[in-house]
Structure 1
Amino acid sequence: MAIDPPTPPPLDTMRTVTEPVIDERTTGGPGGHRDRRGWLVSLFAVLLAGLLAGHRAVPNVHGLGSLVDSVTPLLGLGVPPLAVAALLRRSRRALAVVLLPAVVWAALYGGAWLPPATGAGPAAIRVASQNLRSGNPDPVATVDAVAAAGADLIGLQEIDDDRVDAALRQRYPHRAAVSTVALWSRWPIRDSADVDTGLGWTRALRAVVAAPGGDLVVYVVHLGSARAGHTATRDETLAALASTVRADPAPRLVVLGDLNTATTDRVFAPLTRLLRDAQADAGQGFGFTWPAELPVTRPDHVLYRGLTPTAAGVLHTPDSDHRAVTAGFRW
C-alpha cells in the first residue's frame, strides 16, 4: 500500500523570523532621536539648577568660587535656550525639567525685580559713587553727569586729574581726599582720616559729614583689584575693611566705592553681616555697573546702616568704564 508523503507546510509558516525587533526610541529613529535629545536637555537643566542652588559649594581655588558666585545671577540666561531646545525636540518631559532651574533662579533673584519694599518719602541725603577710570580723557564730563543727578555727597575712585576738583568745587565746597579716592560734600566735613585696607598704599578714607540731620560717617573705598586666578589681594582688603567697619561705633554709616566684587560673592559675607545694600533694599534689578557699555556684574556699591533707603539706581556716565551708583536715604 503506497503512502503519500506528508504535505509540506506553506512556505510562509516555515519562515523563521530572525530580524531583531526595532525600537525607534533607542535606535535614532524619529521618536528615539527626539527622546535622546530630550534627556540631554533635561541633564543640562538639572546641572544648571544644581549650580544655581549650590554655587557656594564650588571650591574657591584661584578665585574660581568667587567668580562663579559673582556671575550666578546671569546663569538664569541659560533657561530660555534650554526651554527652546525642549520645544524643538517636542519633549514635554524636558520642558518640565527646565522649570527646575527657572524656579531656583526666581527664588534666589526674582525679588530683585519686584518693586522695593522701602522707598516711602523724600530723600534727606542723596549719595553717589563713581570709579572715574585712570586715564579718563574727559573726567569733567563724567563728574558733571554724576553731579547732575543731584547727589549731596559724591565719592570718587581712580582720580588722577586736577580738573575733577575744579569742576566740583563750586557745587561741593567741602572735600576730603587721600591718594586716588575722594569725597565731595555740600555740607561741612568735620573730620577725615586715611583707612588702611592692607593694600600697601592708602586707597580709602573715613570722613564725618555734618549733615542737616546729624553726623554721618562716610567711607570712600577702592579695594584691591581681582583678576582671573588672582583674588587674594582683593579678599584681604575686603576683610580689612570689614574689620574696620566692625570696630566703628558710628550709628549712621555709608560706604561708597569700588569693592571689586559683587555682593553675591562669598568673600563679601563679612560686610553683608555688618551693612545693608542700598540697591537690594531700594533699587530694582541687579544694578550692574561694569563694564559700562554692557555691564555683567556690580563691583560698585552703596552700603549703609542706621538709615532708611528711599531709592537706589545706576547712572551711565560718559568716558568711564564703570557706571555710577546712586542712593537716597532718610533719617
Structure 2
Amino acid sequence: MTGGTTDEAAGGARFRAPRGPVLMLLAVLLAGLLAGHRAVPNVRGLGSLLDSVTPLLGLGVPALVLGALLRRSRPALVAALFPATVWAVLFGPALLPPAAGAGPVTLRVASQNLRAGNPDPAGTVDALVSSGADLIALQEVNRDARVAAALHSRYPHHAEVSTVALWSRYPVRESTGVDTGLGWTRALRAVVAAPGGDLVVYVAHLGSARAGDTATRDETVRRLAAAVRADPARHLVVLGDLNTASTDRVFAPLTRLLGDAQADVGRGFGFTWPAELPVTRPDHVLYRGLTPTSAGVLHTPDSDHRAVTAGFRW
C-alpha cells in the first residue's frame, strides 16, 4: 500500500505540467506585439486600432507578474521583464516630468469637442475660459446662442464654418473653410493677429474611425496634412478632434510636419476620450514656428471628450 502511494506520487510529478511555460510564451508574444505593432497589416483598420491602444497593452505586464507569483514560477517572472522593458522604452518617457520650455508664456490655446446634443454647452466653455486660453477651438458646434453668450465678452473675435469654430482674444484677419474630403466642410483656416505676429490657426474635426472602417478618417488626415504642407505660414497651430491617436501610424503625415505639444512638453499620455475614463487621445494641439511651454488635459462638464490645452512662446 505504501509503495503504491509512492509510485503514484512519483508518476504525478513526472506528468505534472512545468510551471509557467504558458505565461512565458504570453510574455514573449506581448513583448513582440509592443515592439512590432506597426508591422501588423492595417487591413480594415486593424493595425490602426492596435496602434491606438498600444500604450494600454502595458496592463498585461502586471497580469503576467501576478500569474507568475501564483504559479511560483521564477522563469515566468523573469520573462515578464521583456514586455515591461519594451513598454518602458516606448512609453516610459511620457511619464517623466515634462521639459517645460524656457521663457514666459505668450499664447495659450484650448480645444474642445463640445458633443452634439450637449445639454449645457455654456458650462463646458466656461471651463475653457477658466483655463486662461487666448484661443478656443470648438468642434460639434451647432450655433447654440448659449455658446456665443458665454464667450463673446472675453473673446470678441470669432470664425466659424459648419460645426467648427474659433474664438479669439485677438483679431481674426481672415478665415476660410478647408476641404478635408468629407463631402461637407468640417475644418477652417484662420489668420489671427496675435501679439507675436500673425498666427495661422487650423480648427479641424476629421472623419470618424470605426472598427473595420477607417478609410474616411485616413483620407481626411491626408488632406489636412496636404493643406498644412502647402501653407507658407511660419507660425501655425492645428487644433481639434482629429479622430486619430498619437500612436496611430496614420498620424505620421501630420507629425512629420508639426510638433505635438503633449508629446513635447506634456506629462502622461494626455488621453481625452471617453471623458469619464479616457483610453485614447483623438484631440490634439500641433504646432510649428512656436516654442511649447506646457500642455495638458482639462476635464470639462457635459462633453464626451476632455479638452486639450497648451501654452507657447514666440
TM-score bin (small chain) = over 0.9
RMSD between superposed Cα atoms in Å: 1.3
The TM-score, its normalising length taken from structure 2, stands at 0.95
Greater alpha carbon shift after TM alignment, 111-120 vs 317-326: 111-120
1:78 aligns with 2:60: yes
**Distance in 2 (alpha carbons) for counterparts of 1:23 and 1:86:** 25
Distance in structure 2 (CA, Å) of the matches to 1:20 and 1:163: 79
How do 1:236-247 residues align onto structure 2 when only pairs under 5 Å count? 236-247=219-230
1:262 to 232, 238, 245: 245
| Residue of structure 2 equivalent to 1:122 | 104
2:182 pairs with 185, 190, 199, which one? 199
Number of equivalences: 307
Taking the aligned partners of 2:97 and 2:237, their CA distance within structure 1 comes to 23
Which residue identity lines up with residue 105 of structure 1 in the other structure?
W
Task: Find the residue that maps to 2:80 and give its secondary structure.
Answer: helix
Equivalence for 2:165: 182
Return 5+ residue gaps in structure 1 as ranges.
1-18
Report matched runs for 1:60-79 at 5 Å. 60-79=42-61
Structure 1 runs of 4+ aligned residues shifted over 2 Å read 19-26, 117-122
Aligned AA (1:132): L
CA distance in 2, matches of 1:168, 1:214: 23
Deviation at 1:120, TM superposition (A): 2.8
Equivalent in 31, 38, 55 of residue 37 of structure 2: 55
Residue type at the aligned position of 1:61: V
| Aligned partner of residue 272 in structure 2, secondary structure | coil
Residue in 2 aligned with 1:157? 139
Gaps of 5+ in 2: 1-6
Matched, 1:99 2:99: no
The equivalent residue for 2:200 is 217
Percent of paired sites with the same residue: 77
> Deviation of residue 117 (structure 1)?
2.2
Could you report, residue by residue, the CA deviation over 1:184-218 in whole angstroms, capped at 9, with x for unpaired residues? 00000111111010110000000111001111110
What is the alpha-carbon distance in structure 2 between the residues aligned to residue 169 and residue 53 of structure 1? 48
Matched with 2:91 is 109
Deviations 1:288-318 (A, max 9, x none): 0000000000000000011110000000000
Distance 2:272 2:210 in 1: 17
1:228 and 1:124, CA in 2 relative to 1: closer, same or farther beyond 3 A? same
Give the secondary-structure state (helix, strand or coil) at the position aligned to 1:217.
strand
User: 1-side partners of 2:75 and 2:13: how far apart?
Assistant: 15
Normalization by structure 1: what TM-score? 0.90
Q: What SS does the aligned partner of 1:119 have? A: coil
Q: Secondary structure at the match of 1:129?
A: strand
